[in-house]
Amino acid sequence: MHSRPLSETECDLVATAPLFSALGKQIFRSLIVKCRVERRAVGEYLFQAGDVAEHLYFLLSGKLRLVKISAHGEETVMHFLTRPGAFAEAVSLAGATYPVNCQVMEECEVVLIPREACIALLRETPKASIDVLVRLIEWERFFLGELYQLRHTTPLQRIASFLIDFEGRSSAAQPNGGSHVAYPEKRQIASLIGVTPETFSRSLRKLEAAGAIAKGTHLKILDRKILEQSALNAS
């Protein structure tokens, strides 16, 4: 595990997070000098369910997945983190235990921000506390949207929507807006959108037959318009 201080460019990027943008430059600088960047390899865990939260995190590069493990050892993918940004703020600030595992999907660099330092600064900056609440509301809306998708859309719609959204988020995270997207494993996508592997495979075949994607070893969008139409139509 490699650890280093942040560069000026990385400091500026972290400062754009809603939680930190309210602190002001001087207060933010007093916090960021206490932070470190860690590089993590594929398969490593940033944290696991039951660990007490001691840090807030900011993803600089790479990809992470949040996974819930049942009592019977079954995995359910809760979310993929694919672009730079802060995460796990609420759990960290509460000093609670993580409810999910956070595993590295693609070699990444993550900023570790000490929880106690954040708490001290939030006491001095009430506006930052409001931004934390705003962030929690954003997450609530996101998961309500996920719940709606599970209840009111077909597996084909959910797969098409996921492929479009993931491509958009991954491309935005690439410095040159590259078109190559490394999608998660198919079984992980199936877990996230709540379908069986068999249903997922059937839906992929339909999208491939329609000319929307090439599934092969790695998924690839061939015709975005067809995929967008598939995401809208409940056929």
Question: How many helices, marked H, and strands, marked E, lie in the chain?
Answer: 10, 9
pLDDT at position 122 is 77
Alpha-carbon Rg for the chain in angstroms: 19
**Alpha-carbon gap, residue 171 to 224, rounded angstroms:** 14
Bigger pLDDT: 67 vs 144: 67
What's the pLDDT tens digit per position in 82-97?
A: 999 999 888 888 889 9
pLDDT at position 177 is 42
What's the pLDDT tens digit per position in 158-169?
A: 999 999 989 988
Nearest CA-CA partner of 156 in 202, 104, 99:
202
Phi, psi of 178 (to 5 degrees): -55, 155
Q: For the chain, what percentages of helix, strand and coil (3-state, to nearest 5) are there?
A: 45, 25, 30
Least confident residue range of 98-102, 125-129, 205-209: 125-129
pLDDT at position 178 is 43
Nearest CA-CA partner of 119 in 128, 110, 111:
128
Residue pair 230/160 in contact by the 8 Å Cβ criterion: yes
Least confident residue range of 98-102, 110-114, 142-146: 142-146
pLDDT greater than 90 at residue 4? yes
Bigger pLDDT: 66 vs 139: 66
Banded pLDDT at 139 (limits 50, 70, 90):
low
Q: Give mean pLDDT, residues 16-43.
A: 88
Rounded to the nearest integer, the mean pLDDT of the chain is 86
pLDDT at position 55 is 94
Which 8-state DSSP code applies to residue 192?
H
Bigger pLDDT: 145 vs 38: 38
Q: Give mean pLDDT, residues 141-153.
A: 70
Least confident residue range of 93-97, 171-175, 183-187, 231-235: 171-175
pLDDT greater than 50 at residue 175? no
pLDDT greater than 80 at residue 51? yes
pLDDT greater than 60 at residue 172? no
Least confident residue range of 47-61, 84-98, 106-120: 84-98
Phi, psi of 38 (to 5 degrees): -120, 140
pLDDT at position 97 is 94
